[in-house]
Amino acid sequence: MDLQKLKAFATVARHRSFTKASIELFISQPALSKKISDFEKELGTALLIRDNRTVELTEAGKLLYSEAAVLLKFGEDLERKVRQLGENPDQKLNIGVTGIEYGRLMKTLFGFHNRHPEIELSIHKHTAAEIRNLILGGMIDIGYQTRFEVENEQYVESIPFDRDSLSLVVSKFHRLANEKEADINAIKDERYVGIQPTTDHIPFSRMINMLIENGYNPQGVLITPNVDELVLNVACGLAVGHLFAKTENVYGGLLSFIKTKDYSMDIQIDMVWNRNNHNRARQMLIDFVKEENAALGLA
């Protein structure tokens, strides 16, 4: 249906006059009359009953006029949205987080939102494995992974986002809760909690092997599906574990974070995206992070 012809018909129907309608539409009466006639031919039915003085609507005309305002509004809105899409960057970014990026994430997104308030940021928390699949599937525009995860991804591009290390975490009521540092022997009689191998950034076997190599023989191992359950188990004193040191900003109210003396694992955290995802707002965030990286000396 030609929306310009529909608008011409609706204007005539509203005024019940070709003269008034032609004035409003800035079109001659003969041209307006032809446009309406062509419209009726396209629809295969008469819409108007004309005589020398008045214009009346046929039953088909009454039906069409009753819906014309909705159709025209829909057409105008659709045209506006299409034009915006062509003229402006995409207006929404879906960002996937797991927790490893918390050390820097809040400040970065706060700064980006202040610079680009027109971009709607939507943040979703998932496991590391879910983030990977959502990025590859195009459901998330930006995610965060460790460097050794990124190295194994064929379709992912990345830039450095943060550096972090692992801290020992214990309950606020644990005997080590007030210690600033602890060596491996301090937890030799403790049960250990980790995150399910298929969902965490750091393979559980890699973590346990590092600890065993440094002399730790855990008195039992507890596996949880996500970081929130790990935090809960540690907070309740059921086990000790490890988290990224900078997540103390988030979990420090529940857990005590302790620097490790004789073992460590330094982690490079990257911001990642699917190279086949062409959301232009994503590039705006990438450029913003690169600008921050230059100021932070993070390459």
| Residue ranges covered by each domain of the chain | 3-87, 92-162+268-296, 166-265
Q: Token pair for residue 28? A: 């001659």
Distance between CA atoms of residues 249 and 251, nearest Å? 6
Q: Do domains 3-87 and 92-162+268-296 have the same CATH topology?
A: no
Domain 166-265: state its class. Answer: alpha beta
| Cβ count within 10 A of residue 93 | 22
Quick check: pTM over 0.85? no
To 10 degrees, what angle do helices 3-15 and 59-87 make?
A: 130
Homologous superfamily of the 92-162+268-296 domain (CATH): Periplasmic binding protein-like II (3.40.190.10)
pLDDT given for residue 194 in this prediction: 87
pLDDT given for residue 77 in this prediction: 76
The arithmetic mean of pLDDT across residues 71-78, rounded, is: 80
The arithmetic mean of pLDDT across residues 147-154, rounded, is: 71
Distance between CA atoms of residues 200 and 127, nearest Å? 7
The arithmetic mean of pLDDT across residues 80-101, rounded, is: 74
CA geometry: angle 140, 129, 226, nearest 5 deg: 110
The arithmetic mean of pLDDT across residues 221-225, rounded, is: 86
Mean pLDDT score of the chain: 86
Distance between CA atoms of residues 91 and 118, nearest Å? 7
To 10 degrees, what angle do helices 18-25 and 29-43 make?
A: 100
Most confident of 102-106, 127-131, 194-198: 102-106
pLDDT of 88 over the 90 cut: no
CA geometry: angle 193, 197, 203, nearest 5 deg: 90
pLDDT, tens digit, for every residue of 39-72? 889 888 898 888 777 788 889 888 888 888 888 8
| Cβ count within 10 A of residue 129 | 15
Domain 3-87: state its class. Answer: mainly alpha
pLDDT given for residue 79 in this prediction: 75
pLDDT of 171 over the 80 cut: yes
Q: Which residue is listed with tokens 């971009």?
A: 119
